[in-house]
Chain A
Protein backbone atom coordinates (compact mmCIF):
# COMPACT_ATOMS: atom_id res chain seq x y z
CA UNK A 1 0.00 0.00 0.00
CA UNK A 2 2.82 2.39 0.83
CA UNK A 3 4.18 2.47 -2.72
CA UNK A 4 0.72 3.63 -3.91
CA UNK A 5 0.51 6.44 -1.43
CA UNK A 6 3.80 7.97 -2.43
CA UNK A 7 2.92 8.73 -6.09
CA UNK A 8 -0.47 10.07 -5.04
CA UNK A 9 1.15 12.54 -2.72
CA UNK A 10 3.49 13.54 -5.47
CA UNK A 11 0.52 14.37 -7.69
CA UNK A 12 -0.98 16.44 -4.92
CA UNK A 13 2.22 18.42 -4.55
CA UNK A 14 2.45 19.01 -8.25
CA UNK A 15 -1.17 20.14 -8.34
CA UNK A 16 -0.75 22.81 -5.72
CA UNK A 17 2.09 24.34 -7.74
CA UNK A 18 0.38 24.06 -11.13
CA UNK A 19 -0.85 27.24 -12.92
CA UNK A 20 -4.61 28.01 -12.85
CA UNK A 21 -5.28 27.32 -16.51
CA UNK A 22 -4.36 23.68 -16.18
CA UNK A 23 -6.35 23.07 -13.04
CA UNK A 24 -9.35 21.44 -14.69
CA UNK A 25 -7.20 18.91 -16.48
CA UNK A 26 -5.27 18.27 -13.33
CA UNK A 27 -8.41 17.72 -11.38
CA UNK A 28 -9.33 14.78 -13.56
CA UNK A 29 -5.86 13.41 -13.02
CA UNK A 30 -6.35 13.80 -9.33
CA UNK A 31 -9.66 11.91 -9.36
CA UNK A 32 -8.29 9.13 -11.53
CA UNK A 33 -5.51 8.43 -9.08
CA UNK A 34 -7.99 6.74 -6.78
CA UNK A 35 -6.84 6.69 -3.23
CA UNK A 36 -8.48 7.54 0.01
CA UNK A 37 -5.23 8.85 1.41
CA UNK A 38 -5.15 12.22 -0.36
CA UNK A 39 -8.11 14.47 0.51
CA UNK A 40 -5.76 17.43 0.43
CA UNK A 41 -5.09 17.01 -3.27
CA UNK A 42 -8.82 16.93 -4.12
CA UNK A 43 -9.52 20.02 -2.03
CA UNK A 44 -6.93 22.07 -3.76
CA UNK A 45 -8.12 21.19 -7.25
CA UNK A 46 -11.79 22.04 -6.47
CA UNK A 47 -10.94 25.39 -5.11
CA UNK A 48 -8.94 26.19 -8.21
CA UNK A 49 -11.75 25.12 -10.51
CA UNK A 50 -14.25 27.32 -8.73
CA UNK A 51 -11.93 30.24 -8.98
CA UNK A 52 -11.57 29.72 -12.70
CA UNK A 53 -15.36 29.60 -13.29
CA UNK A 54 -15.88 32.76 -11.32
CA UNK A 55 -13.33 34.45 -13.48
CA UNK A 56 -14.91 33.45 -16.78
CA UNK A 57 -18.46 34.65 -15.99
CA UNK A 58 -18.79 38.24 -14.99
CA UNK A 59 -21.48 38.92 -12.44
CA UNK A 60 -22.02 42.24 -10.75
CA UNK A 61 -22.41 40.88 -7.26
CA UNK A 62 -21.58 37.66 -5.54
CA UNK A 63 -25.31 37.20 -4.71
CA UNK A 64 -26.25 37.43 -8.35
CA UNK A 65 -23.69 34.88 -9.31
CA UNK A 66 -24.77 32.60 -6.49
CA UNK A 67 -28.49 32.73 -7.39
CA UNK A 68 -27.78 32.19 -11.06
CA UNK A 69 -25.63 29.24 -10.18
CA UNK A 70 -28.33 27.76 -7.92
CA UNK A 71 -31.35 27.92 -10.27
CA UNK A 72 -29.61 27.39 -13.59
CA UNK A 73 -31.69 28.21 -16.71
CA UNK A 74 -34.90 27.02 -15.01
CA UNK A 75 -37.99 29.25 -14.78
CA UNK A 76 -41.59 28.36 -13.89
CA UNK A 77 -42.78 29.20 -17.40
CA UNK A 78 -40.25 26.88 -18.95
CA UNK A 79 -41.18 24.14 -16.47
CA UNK A 80 -44.90 24.30 -17.21
CA UNK A 81 -44.25 24.40 -20.95
CA UNK A 82 -42.01 21.36 -20.61
CA UNK A 83 -44.58 19.33 -18.64
CA UNK A 84 -47.47 20.26 -20.95
CA UNK A 85 -45.45 19.43 -24.07
CA UNK A 86 -44.32 16.15 -22.59
CA UNK A 87 -47.88 15.15 -21.65
CA UNK A 88 -49.13 16.13 -25.10
CA UNK A 89 -46.43 14.17 -26.87
CA UNK A 90 -46.95 11.17 -24.63
CA UNK A 91 -50.68 11.11 -25.35
CA UNK A 92 -50.09 11.56 -29.06
CA UNK A 93 -47.51 8.79 -29.27
CA UNK A 94 -49.62 6.36 -27.25
CA UNK A 95 -52.61 7.09 -29.47
CA UNK A 96 -50.57 6.75 -32.65
CA UNK A 97 -48.94 3.56 -31.42
CA UNK A 98 -52.32 1.94 -30.83
CA UNK A 99 -53.64 3.14 -34.18
CA UNK A 100 -50.56 1.89 -36.02
CA UNK A 101 -50.77 -1.46 -34.28
CA UNK A 102 -54.24 -2.06 -35.64
CA UNK A 103 -53.30 -0.69 -39.03
CA UNK A 104 -50.28 -2.96 -39.14
CA UNK A 105 -52.37 -6.03 -38.41
CA UNK A 106 -54.81 -5.09 -41.14
CA UNK A 107 -52.05 -4.11 -43.58
CA UNK A 108 -49.96 -7.19 -42.93
CA UNK A 109 -52.53 -9.11 -44.94
CA UNK A 110 -52.50 -6.67 -47.85
CA UNK A 111 -48.80 -6.31 -48.51
CA UNK A 112 -46.77 -7.97 -51.19
CA UNK A 113 -45.99 -11.55 -50.32
CA UNK A 114 -48.60 -11.71 -47.58
CA UNK A 115 -51.21 -14.44 -48.02
CA UNK A 116 -54.19 -13.15 -49.90
CA UNK A 117 -57.28 -14.49 -48.22
CA UNK A 118 -60.67 -13.89 -49.75
CA UNK A 119 -61.54 -12.39 -53.09
CA UNK A 120 -64.28 -12.47 -55.68
CA UNK A 121 -66.89 -15.21 -55.52
CA UNK A 122 -70.34 -16.00 -56.81
CA UNK A 123 -72.58 -18.24 -54.73
CA UNK A 124 -76.26 -18.67 -53.83
CA UNK A 125 -77.71 -17.52 -50.52
CA UNK A 126 -80.20 -19.45 -48.36
CA UNK A 127 -83.10 -17.84 -50.23
CA UNK A 128 -81.80 -19.14 -53.54
CA UNK A 129 -80.62 -15.72 -54.76
CA UNK A 130 -77.23 -15.04 -56.31
CA UNK A 131 -74.80 -13.69 -53.74
CA UNK A 132 -71.35 -12.31 -54.61
CA UNK A 133 -68.45 -10.67 -52.82
CA UNK A 134 -70.01 -7.30 -53.73
CA UNK A 135 -72.90 -8.04 -51.37
CA UNK A 136 -70.43 -8.13 -48.49
CA UNK A 137 -68.78 -4.80 -49.33
CA UNK A 138 -69.44 -1.76 -47.17
CA UNK A 139 -69.39 -3.52 -43.81
CA UNK A 140 -67.28 -6.02 -41.96
CA UNK A 141 -68.10 -9.70 -42.42
CA UNK A 142 -67.43 -12.76 -40.31
CA UNK A 143 -67.08 -15.82 -42.53
CA UNK A 144 -67.32 -19.37 -41.23
CA UNK A 145 -67.08 -22.60 -43.19
CA UNK A 146 -68.90 -25.77 -42.18
CA UNK A 147 -71.64 -28.22 -43.13
CA UNK A 148 -75.06 -29.05 -41.74
CA UNK A 149 -74.18 -32.71 -41.08
CA UNK A 150 -71.30 -31.63 -38.85
CA UNK A 151 -71.29 -33.76 -35.67
CA UNK A 152 -70.00 -31.46 -32.95
CA UNK A 153 -67.61 -28.66 -33.83
CA UNK A 154 -69.69 -26.58 -36.27
CA UNK A 155 -72.80 -26.42 -34.06
CA UNK A 156 -70.69 -25.33 -31.10
CA UNK A 157 -68.85 -22.77 -33.15
CA UNK A 158 -72.05 -21.45 -34.73
CA UNK A 159 -73.55 -20.92 -31.27
CA UNK A 160 -70.39 -19.01 -30.40
CA UNK A 161 -70.64 -17.01 -33.61
CA UNK A 162 -74.25 -16.08 -32.75
CA UNK A 163 -73.13 -14.79 -29.35
CA UNK A 164 -70.22 -12.80 -30.69
CA UNK A 165 -72.44 -11.37 -33.42
CA UNK A 166 -74.97 -10.21 -30.83
CA UNK A 167 -72.17 -8.61 -28.78
CA UNK A 168 -70.86 -6.72 -31.81
CA UNK A 169 -74.37 -5.84 -32.90
CA UNK A 170 -75.07 -4.27 -29.49
CA UNK A 171 -72.15 -1.85 -29.94
CA UNK A 172 -72.14 -1.29 -33.69
CA UNK A 173 -75.54 -2.18 -35.17
CA UNK A 174 -75.38 -3.23 -38.79
CA UNK A 175 -71.60 -3.13 -38.97
CA UNK A 176 -71.08 -6.90 -39.30
CA UNK A 177 -72.50 -9.54 -41.64
CA UNK A 178 -72.31 -13.11 -40.30
CA UNK A 179 -71.78 -15.61 -43.13
CA UNK A 180 -71.86 -19.39 -43.14
CA UNK A 181 -70.43 -21.10 -46.22
CA UNK A 182 -71.12 -24.78 -46.64
CA UNK A 183 -68.31 -27.13 -47.59
CA UNK A 184 -70.88 -29.76 -48.55
CA UNK A 185 -72.82 -28.32 -51.49
CA UNK A 186 -74.14 -31.73 -52.54
CA UNK A 187 -76.33 -32.00 -49.43
CA UNK A 188 -76.60 -28.38 -48.28
CA UNK A 189 -78.91 -26.54 -50.64
CA UNK A 190 -80.53 -23.17 -49.86
CA UNK A 191 -83.47 -24.87 -48.13
CA UNK A 192 -81.28 -27.02 -45.87
CA UNK A 193 -79.10 -24.03 -44.98
CA UNK A 194 -82.10 -21.89 -44.15
CA UNK A 195 -83.55 -24.51 -41.81
CA UNK A 196 -80.20 -25.21 -40.22
CA UNK A 197 -79.10 -21.62 -39.65
CA UNK A 198 -82.48 -20.45 -38.38
CA UNK A 199 -81.76 -22.47 -35.23
CA UNK A 200 -78.60 -20.46 -34.57
CA UNK A 201 -79.34 -16.86 -35.54
CA UNK A 202 -81.93 -15.27 -37.86
CA UNK A 203 -79.29 -12.88 -39.22
CA UNK A 204 -76.93 -15.58 -40.48
CA UNK A 205 -76.41 -15.63 -44.24
CA UNK A 206 -76.03 -19.16 -45.59
CA UNK A 207 -74.10 -19.62 -48.84
CA UNK A 208 -73.94 -22.60 -51.13
CA UNK A 209 -73.24 -23.25 -54.80
CA UNK A 210 -72.04 -25.87 -57.20
CA UNK A 211 -69.19 -28.17 -56.24
CA UNK A 212 -66.79 -26.12 -58.36
CA UNK A 213 -67.96 -22.81 -56.92
CA UNK A 214 -67.55 -24.02 -53.35
CA UNK A 215 -64.17 -25.51 -54.12
CA UNK A 216 -63.04 -22.15 -55.54
CA UNK A 217 -64.46 -20.34 -52.49
CA UNK A 218 -62.62 -22.64 -50.09
CA UNK A 219 -59.41 -22.17 -52.06
CA UNK A 220 -59.78 -18.37 -51.95
CA UNK A 221 -60.20 -18.49 -48.17
CA UNK A 222 -57.43 -21.07 -47.74
CA UNK A 223 -59.89 -23.52 -46.25
CA UNK A 224 -58.90 -27.16 -46.25
CA UNK A 225 -61.54 -28.85 -48.35
CA UNK A 226 -61.99 -32.59 -48.50
CA UNK A 227 -65.54 -33.05 -49.74
CA UNK A 228 -65.74 -35.98 -52.14
CA UNK A 229 -66.66 -34.82 -55.64
CA UNK A 230 -68.91 -37.75 -56.49
CA UNK A 231 -71.06 -39.12 -53.73
CA UNK A 232 -73.34 -42.10 -54.21
CA UNK A 233 -76.96 -41.21 -53.48
CA UNK A 234 -77.71 -42.05 -49.87
CA UNK A 235 -74.06 -42.39 -48.94
CA UNK A 236 -73.22 -40.63 -45.69
CA UNK A 237 -69.88 -38.95 -45.15
CA UNK A 238 -68.20 -36.34 -43.03
CA UNK A 239 -66.25 -33.34 -44.26
CA UNK A 240 -62.96 -32.09 -42.91
CA UNK A 241 -62.63 -28.37 -42.95
CA UNK A 242 -60.83 -25.49 -41.25
CA UNK A 243 -62.59 -24.10 -38.24
CA UNK A 244 -61.63 -20.44 -38.21
CA UNK A 245 -63.81 -17.38 -38.28
CA UNK A 246 -62.50 -15.07 -40.94
CA UNK A 247 -62.93 -11.38 -40.21
CA UNK A 248 -63.05 -9.42 -43.47
CA UNK A 249 -63.02 -5.63 -43.71
CA UNK A 250 -65.56 -3.52 -45.66
CA UNK A 251 -63.35 -3.68 -48.77
CA UNK A 252 -63.37 -7.46 -48.65
CA UNK A 253 -59.78 -7.77 -47.40
CA UNK A 254 -58.83 -10.29 -44.76
CA UNK A 255 -58.23 -8.78 -41.31
CA UNK A 256 -57.83 -11.59 -38.82
CA UNK A 257 -58.65 -15.23 -38.17
CA UNK A 258 -60.43 -16.00 -34.91
CA UNK A 259 -60.01 -19.51 -33.59
CA UNK A 260 -61.50 -21.87 -31.05
CA UNK A 261 -59.30 -20.41 -28.32
CA UNK A 262 -61.29 -17.17 -28.39
CA UNK A 263 -64.33 -16.90 -26.20
CA UNK A 264 -67.25 -15.02 -27.77
CA UNK A 265 -66.41 -12.04 -25.53
CA UNK A 266 -62.77 -11.99 -26.60
CA UNK A 267 -63.69 -12.39 -30.26
CA UNK A 268 -66.24 -9.58 -30.09
CA UNK A 269 -63.60 -7.34 -28.46
CA UNK A 270 -61.12 -8.09 -31.24
CA UNK A 271 -63.74 -7.35 -33.90
CA UNK A 272 -64.83 -4.11 -32.24
CA UNK A 273 -61.21 -3.01 -31.84
CA UNK A 274 -60.72 -3.36 -35.59
CA UNK A 275 -63.95 -1.49 -36.24
CA UNK A 276 -62.68 1.43 -34.15
CA UNK A 277 -60.25 2.24 -36.94
CA UNK A 278 -63.02 2.13 -39.48
CA UNK A 279 -64.45 5.51 -40.52
CA UNK A 280 -67.37 4.39 -42.66
CA UNK A 281 -70.60 3.58 -40.90
CA UNK A 282 -73.46 1.91 -42.69
CA UNK A 283 -76.54 4.09 -43.06
CA UNK A 284 -79.02 1.48 -41.95
CA UNK A 285 -78.77 -1.75 -40.08
Chain B
Protein backbone atom coordinates (compact mmCIF):
# COMPACT_ATOMS: atom_id res chain seq x y z
CA UNK B 1 0.00 0.00 0.00
CA UNK B 2 2.75 2.39 1.02
CA UNK B 3 4.83 1.38 -1.94
CA UNK B 4 1.90 1.82 -4.31
CA UNK B 5 1.08 5.30 -3.13
CA UNK B 6 4.77 6.20 -3.26
CA UNK B 7 4.85 5.23 -6.95
CA UNK B 8 1.68 7.15 -7.62
CA UNK B 9 3.17 10.27 -6.05
CA UNK B 10 2.29 10.74 -2.38
CA UNK B 11 0.83 14.06 -1.28
CA UNK B 12 2.08 15.96 1.79
CA UNK B 13 -1.06 15.06 3.75
CA UNK B 14 -0.70 11.38 2.95
CA UNK B 15 2.93 11.47 3.94
CA UNK B 16 2.09 13.04 7.25
CA UNK B 17 -0.68 10.49 7.85
CA UNK B 18 1.74 7.67 7.15
CA UNK B 19 4.27 9.16 9.56
CA UNK B 20 1.65 9.34 12.27
CA UNK B 21 0.54 5.74 11.64
CA UNK B 22 4.07 4.41 11.87
CA UNK B 23 4.88 6.52 14.91
CA UNK B 24 7.61 8.54 13.20
CA UNK B 25 6.02 11.79 14.32
CA UNK B 26 3.70 12.55 17.20
CA UNK B 27 0.26 13.79 16.16
CA UNK B 28 -0.72 17.39 16.76
CA UNK B 29 -3.74 18.37 18.82
CA UNK B 30 -6.04 18.38 15.77
CA UNK B 31 -4.68 15.05 14.54
CA UNK B 32 -5.13 13.56 17.97
CA UNK B 33 -8.72 14.73 18.04
CA UNK B 34 -9.38 13.19 14.63
CA UNK B 35 -7.98 9.89 15.89
CA UNK B 36 -10.11 10.02 19.04
CA UNK B 37 -13.24 10.77 16.99
CA UNK B 38 -12.53 7.80 14.70
CA UNK B 39 -11.95 5.65 17.76
CA UNK B 40 -15.24 6.69 19.36
CA UNK B 41 -17.14 5.96 16.14
CA UNK B 42 -15.50 2.53 15.91
CA UNK B 43 -16.22 1.74 19.55
CA UNK B 44 -19.86 2.71 19.31
CA UNK B 45 -20.15 0.36 16.33
CA UNK B 46 -18.57 -2.42 18.43
CA UNK B 47 -21.02 -1.62 21.23
CA UNK B 48 -23.96 -1.77 18.83
CA UNK B 49 -22.83 -5.16 17.56
CA UNK B 50 -22.09 -6.57 20.99
CA UNK B 51 -18.41 -7.09 20.31
CA UNK B 52 -16.40 -7.21 23.52
CA UNK B 53 -12.80 -7.75 22.43
CA UNK B 54 -11.99 -6.32 19.01
CA UNK B 55 -8.59 -8.05 19.00
CA UNK B 56 -9.88 -11.56 19.71
CA UNK B 57 -13.05 -11.18 17.70
CA UNK B 58 -11.25 -9.47 14.83
CA UNK B 59 -13.12 -11.29 12.07
CA UNK B 60 -16.50 -10.45 13.53
CA UNK B 61 -15.37 -6.85 14.10
CA UNK B 62 -14.08 -6.48 10.57
CA UNK B 63 -17.36 -7.75 9.17
CA UNK B 64 -19.60 -5.61 11.33
CA UNK B 65 -17.52 -2.43 11.60
CA UNK B 66 -15.24 -2.57 8.55
CA UNK B 67 -15.80 1.05 7.51
CA UNK B 68 -15.22 2.47 11.01
CA UNK B 69 -12.22 0.21 11.49
CA UNK B 70 -10.57 1.50 8.31
CA UNK B 71 -11.13 5.11 9.43
CA UNK B 72 -9.79 4.32 12.88
CA UNK B 73 -6.65 2.70 11.47
CA UNK B 74 -6.17 5.53 8.98
CA UNK B 75 -6.34 8.34 11.54
CA UNK B 76 -4.47 6.74 14.45
CA UNK B 77 -0.98 5.39 14.99
CA UNK B 78 -0.92 1.60 14.71
CA UNK B 79 0.30 1.36 18.29
CA UNK B 80 -2.60 3.51 19.45
CA UNK B 81 -5.13 1.30 17.67
CA UNK B 82 -3.94 -1.74 19.61
CA UNK B 83 -3.70 0.25 22.82
CA UNK B 84 -7.24 1.62 22.52
CA UNK B 85 -8.69 -1.80 21.73
CA UNK B 86 -7.06 -3.26 24.84
CA UNK B 87 -8.12 -0.24 26.85
CA UNK B 88 -11.74 -0.78 25.80
CA UNK B 89 -11.72 -4.36 27.07
CA UNK B 90 -10.34 -3.24 30.42
CA UNK B 91 -12.81 -0.38 30.63
CA UNK B 92 -15.76 -2.72 30.01
CA UNK B 93 -14.46 -5.13 32.64
CA UNK B 94 -13.94 -2.30 35.09
CA UNK B 95 -17.46 -0.99 34.60
CA UNK B 96 -18.95 -4.47 34.94
CA UNK B 97 -17.00 -5.05 38.14
CA UNK B 98 -18.14 -1.73 39.57
CA UNK B 99 -21.74 -2.56 38.72
CA UNK B 100 -21.36 -5.94 40.39
CA UNK B 101 -19.93 -4.33 43.51
CA UNK B 102 -22.67 -1.75 43.59
CA UNK B 103 -25.26 -4.52 43.34
CA UNK B 104 -23.61 -6.13 46.34
CA UNK B 105 -24.06 -2.89 48.24
CA UNK B 106 -20.55 -1.51 48.07
CA UNK B 107 -20.18 2.18 48.80
CA UNK B 108 -18.30 4.29 46.30
CA UNK B 109 -15.69 6.47 47.93
CA UNK B 110 -13.29 9.05 46.65
CA UNK B 111 -9.76 8.15 47.56
CA UNK B 112 -7.16 10.83 47.96
CA UNK B 113 -3.62 9.61 47.78
CA UNK B 114 -2.08 12.86 48.92
CA UNK B 115 -1.45 13.90 52.49
CA UNK B 116 -3.46 17.08 52.80
CA UNK B 117 -7.08 16.96 53.87
CA UNK B 118 -9.64 18.41 51.47
CA UNK B 119 -11.93 21.16 52.61
8 of the cross-chain contacts (CB-CB < 8 Å) are: A151-B80, A199-B28, A256-B115, A257-B114, A259-B114, A261-B112, A270-B114, A270-B116
Any chain B CB within 8 A of the CB of A237? yes
Shortest distance in angstroms between A268's beta carbon and chain B's nearest beta carbon?
A: 13
The SS class assigned to the B binding surface is loop
Q: A188-B26, A199-B28, A256-B114 are in contact. List 13 more A-B contacts (CB 8 A).
A: A101-B116, A105-B116, A108-B115, A151-B79, A151-B80, A151-B83, A155-B29, A187-B23, A234-B24, A236-B22, A257-B113, A257-B114, A266-B118
A-B contacts, CB under 8 A, total: 59
Q: Which residue of B lies closest to A274 (CB)?
A: B116
Contacts of B24 on A, CB cut-off 8 Å? Answer: 234
Question: In the complex the two chains form, what is the Cα distance from A90 to B26 in whole Å?
Answer: 57
Count of chain B residues with a beta carbon within 8 Å of a chain A beta carbon: 24
Q: Which of B85-119 contact A (CB under 8 A)?
A: 87, 110-116, 118
Would you give the shortest CB distance from B12 to chain A, in whole angstroms? 17
Q: Are B110 and A261 in contact (CB under 8 A)?
A: yes
Residues in A whose Cβ lies below 8 Å from that of B84: 151-152
Interface string of A175-198 (1 = CB under 8 A from B): 000000000000110001001100
Contacts known (A105-B116, A238-B79); A148 close to B26, Cβ less than 8 A: yes
Residue B78 interfacial (CB < 8 Å): yes
B residues engaging A (CB < 8 A)? 22-26, 28-29, 32, 36, 77-80, 83-84, 87, 110-116, 118
Which residue of chain A has its CB nearest to the CB of B23? Answer: A236
Shortest Cβ distance from residue A170 to the other chain B in the assembled complex, whole angstroms: 20
Flag if A192 contacts B26 (CB, 8 Å).
Answer: yes
A contact residues, range: 20 to 34
Query: Residues of A contacting B113 with CB < 8 Å?
Result: 257, 259, 261
Main SS of the interface on chain A?
loop
Chain A residues with CB under 8 Å of B23's CB are 149, 187, 234-237
- Bound-state CA distance A149–B35 (Å) is 13
Are A199 and B29 also in contact (CB < 8 A) when A108-B115, A149-B23, A261-B110 are? Answer: yes
Smallest distance from the beta carbon of B3 to chain A beta carbons, Å?
Answer: 15
- Is the pair A237, B36 in contact by a Cβ cutoff of 8 Å? no
Kindly report which residue of chain A lies nearest to residue B119, judged by CB atoms: A269
In this complex, what residue of A is CB-closest to B29?
A199
B2: min CB distance to chain A, Å = 12
CA distance A236 to B80 in the complex (A): 10
Interface contact B78-A105, CB-CB below 8 Å: no
The reply on A273 being an interface residue by CB < 8 A is yes
A152-B36 Cα distance, complex, nearest whole Å: 9
How far, in angstroms, from A152 to B25 measured CA to CA in the complex?
16
Q: Across the interface, which residues of B come within 8 angstroms of A102, CB to CB?
A: 116
Interchain CA distance A60-B114 in the complex, whole Å = 69
In the complex, A101 Cα to B116 Cα: how many Å? 8
Q: Which residue of A101, A187, A188, A236 is within 8 Å of B78 (Cβ)?
A: A236
The 5 A-B pairs at the shortest CB distance, nearest first, are namely A236-B23, A148-B26, A236-B79, A199-B29, A151-B80
Give the docked Cα–Cα distance between A285 and B49 (Å): 55
Set of chain B residues within 8 Å of A236, measured between Cβ atoms: 22-23, 77-79
